[in-house]
A and B are shown apart, each in its own frame.
Chain A
Amino acid sequence: LLSRSIANWLLRRRQLSPFGACVNRRGGASAALLTDESAPERHSLDRHVGLLYRPEEADWQAVTRHFCRPELVRLFDTLGQRALMVRRPALEIGERLAGHAGDGRPCLRFVLYGRRGSGKSLQMGHVAAACRRRGWLLVTVHNAHLWMRHSRELHESAHRPGMFDTAGYGCIWLRHFYAMNQEILPGLRVTKELSWNAKESTPAGSSWKEVIDYALARPRYSCAAVQFLIDEIKLGSVPMPTLVCFEVANCLWWHRSGIKNDAIRRTPLQGEEPPWRADITAKQLTLLDAFKQLLDSDWNNGAAVMSVSPQGALFDRLREWMPRKLLGDEGFAYLDPFVPVYVEPYGPAEMSNMLNWYTESGWLTSEAAATDAGRAELAFLSDGNAGELLRIAGEW
């Protein structure tokens, strides 16, 4: 009875609701619309927007998996199948990159913004997979905001005096970087001699794999290795274009962090409780500063795609999700000029398709989820947010 009244009310509001199309004319769920095109670089704005595609195994393992939330990865493992939606923001960025990036052109910068759970990281993943298939070098950072919350093996930096190295994260990232670019890396050569300390150095002309192996063996120098590799990219010694993907980029300009510097005592702020130690911000971390250099516009043959999220606004619990507010004056001035790309909530067609796929794949088990009223309720509860829909659908 209640579902009937909800259904009636929603049917009456169908014309006004953006999710009106979720109420299928035939009634209930229908087949999900999948595309056979599993190659992200071949998705086009005309034909594939709103359709689901199944990523290839190689793409998934190497690239796309890292851009997904753990919940989504678990979902795909549970269901035994993977399907990602092709959406407009990724295709627009892909179009720009294909036409105007690479080939020695200056670095283009795109900033994805949207509410939490709207799908920014997955859009970046789509762009990254497409670029990888085109043969680009991928430099992706997923956990910068976590690097700022917890410190692993923090020590003072030797290669950049006055700053701090996080050796653990450096090693993890190098391993991840190697796994992502396994085919390309053996062909890359270092053009300069890299001196780790007074005694040890890697000669020019050695492969990148050697540098990474050295840094993994000597974790102390992992951040230095990252810095050297990034210097190489900026010099232009890499023959193919480079795509930099940085999730939660606004943490680079945030004034707080979870890492305290015991060596620095400062005057307490109003109402602050002891201990009054200084935060080690991203400006003082060599690893983050190295990636920040890649987001600058002074290098060629590459592009940078970033996302801004309130997750990077530590300890303020901001409800802001607009880029200028999250980046602040300093971050905006650093990234300017960039192209802001809005990742909007699901539209009616996308929502309908997503619900269809959830029903088909067996994730939505309740009978109500197949009815018009149930689908409308799911659409209403999630408000078009992809992450919310994933979470709520798990309860239906």
Chain B
Amino acid sequence: MTPTGKLLLLSGLARRLLAAPSNHSLAAAGYSNSSSSNSSDVWSIGEGGVDDAGAASVSGRRGASSRRAGFAGYSAADVAAAAAASNTAGFRSLVVPGLTKEAAKPPLLRSRHPLTPRCDRMKPAHSSWPSVWPTARTFHPAAVPLPVRQGRPNNATENAGISPNKWGNTELIKVPNFLHLTPAHVAAHCAAIKHLCTPWPKALDEPGVIDKQLPLLVVTTDYLRSHHSIRDIRARRVDLSLCLDRLVKLDKRSLEKLLCLVSFSNFAKVDTQVVGSSRVRHLRMWSDRCPWRFQNYDYLIYALSALYSQSLRHESWESGKAWIDNQRYEFDGSSSQKKLAKLANEPATNAVTHYRNALIKLHRQPENGGTGETHDSLRQYGRAVEFLLGIGKGGGGGGGGPVKKLDASSAQQTGQTKRTTERQAAS
């Protein structure tokens, strides 16, 4: 008996085992032949070598005569192969379907918890986000190492009252993300194209230089929004701004014509800023009439060119311009000037000057050099009228009727001096 056989005997496994010698010599000797010749016969559990005789019966029944029919469901070849595979000691091993532990096969279904997701395996020190997320792509919860949540539960029982996490969150997938445009990305992009750029001219940093060199200011706006569409209708608007002093060849008449043309348009205006004693005029235009931004820009450039060229042109019919067409109040040609002729007495020249100055100050807006209608300008106008008509407190004569001329002139002189000093102080 082989040592294995002794062990089997001792362990009591001989009952169930049909110890077939595993060496091939036995098989080659015809054992399998004999078993194959009995392939039609089925070995039964109760028969064969499994009985109380144990090993003795095994050893005793080594002869062909003690051989019984083959195993149920297994051909002798399978058995032999399995035995050959498992039994290194030369014994046949009993394979009972359903009882014998089979060799580990690969599982048919995936398990519920696969490998650790990438986001949990990523280490900041070792990974570069631009290489993880190089381009714009739909949100992926396993790739984004952020514990983001999206959504609001309707009540305390839904999702335990907390916002759903990123796993399987369709809302996070639907919205646009900018994970492809982080500062790291931008830095990488800039680094990639830096060799194509030239440095910023230092001279442009000085104040006023950029307005001189680049007089045209174009303003466009981009809009971000969290919506299923990233389009925004407001992004088509283009604003253009230009200092009128930069337009050469614009003389007084052309400038007036330009201001007149601008006053008719609903997409352009002229802003006047009073800086000390000088006026700075800016032409501001805007366009959102075209669907695309570059179209609006082209339109504005065209409109600016047309405005400029037309204001330089002077047509023959422009000579028919009336007083009412003036851009700002002019005393000459006004009805007030005409009324001076209707006064009973001819007013003094300085009275007329005061009257004219007061009217100009009252009618012209601050950007045109006047003050507009204020208490001060009204009071000045009132004083000028009183002086003109001669009804002031101190003055006589002027526009009054049958008043003694001698007294009037002396009173008027004192009145004049008083008023001139007043007006000088006021202006």
Contacts and interface: CB of A to CB of B under 8 A. Distances in A.
Nearest to B362: A324
B91 interface: no
Given A103-B401, A297-B342, A337 B391 contact: no
Contacts of A100: 389-391, 400
Contacts of A341: 382
- Give the 3 A-B CB pairs with smallest separation, nearest first: A100-B391, A105-B401, A337-B385
Interface string A334-360: 001111111000000000000000000
Interface residues on A, range: 20 to 34
A341 B375 CA distance: 10
A340 B393 contact: no
Given A105-B402, A106-B401, A340-B381, 9 more contacts: A95-B393, A100-B389, A106-B344, A323-B373, A336-B339, A337-B385, A337-B389, A339-B385, A342-B375
B335 A105 contact: no
Nearest to A324: B373
Given A297-B342, A338-B385, A104 B391 contact: no
B272 interface: no
A324 B374 CA distance: 10
Contacts of A298: 342
A101 B388 CA distance: 15
Nearest to B355: A337
A340 B378 contact: yes
B336 A108 contact: no
A101 B402 CA distance: 11
A105 B400 contact: yes
Contact of B373 (A104, A300, A322, A333): A322
A319 interface: no
B388 A337 contact: yes
A108 B382 contact: no
B404 to A, nearest CB: 13
A4 interface: no
B386 interface: yes
Contacts of A324: 362-363, 373, 378
Contacts of B362: 324
B253 interface: no
A297 B339 contact: yes
A274 interface: no
Contacts of B401: 103-106, 300
Nearest to B345: A106
Given A103-B402, A105-B400, A336 B335 contact: yes
A331 to B, nearest CB: 12
Interface string B91-126: 000000000000000000000000000000000000
A99 B394 CA distance: 11
A69 interface: no
A342 B389 contact: no
A175 interface: no
Nearest to B377: A324
Interface residues on B, range: 20 to 34
A336 B336 contact: yes
A322 to B, nearest CB: 5
B379 interface: yes
Contact of A333 (B336, B375, B389): B336
A337 B378 contact: no
B70 interface: no
Contacts of A95: 393
A187 B132 CA distance: 109
A342 B335 contact: no
Interface in B360-401: 362-363, 373, 375, 378-379, 381-382, 385-386, 388-391, 393, 399-401
B28 to A, nearest CB: 112
A99 B378 contact: no
Nearest to A330: B335
Contacts of B400: 100, 105
Contact of B402 (A104, A113, A297): A104
B2 to A, nearest CB: 114
Nearest to A102: B401
Given A100-B391, A104-B402, A322-B373, A339 B335 contact: no
A313 to B, nearest CB: 15
B54 to A, nearest CB: 114
Nearest to A342: B375
Nearest to A338: B385
Given A100-B391, A104-B402, A105-B401, A340 B382 contact: yes
A251 to B, nearest CB: 19
A96 interface: yes
B386 A339 contact: yes
Interface string A103-132: 111101000010000000000000000000
B378 A333 contact: no
Contacts of A342: 375, 378-379
Nearest to B340: A337
B373 A325 contact: yes
Interface in A38-63: none
10 contacts: A96-B391, A103-B402, A106-B389, A106-B399, A106-B401, A323-B373, A323-B378, A324-B373, A333-B334, A336-B359
B392 to A, nearest CB: 8
Interface in B296-336: 334-336
Contacts of B379: 340, 342
Nearest to A333: B335
A148 to B, nearest CB: 24
Contacts of A325: 373
Nearest to B388: A337
A113 B378 CA distance: 11
B393 to A, nearest CB: 7
Nearest to B386: A339
Interface string A287-314: 0000000000110100000000000000
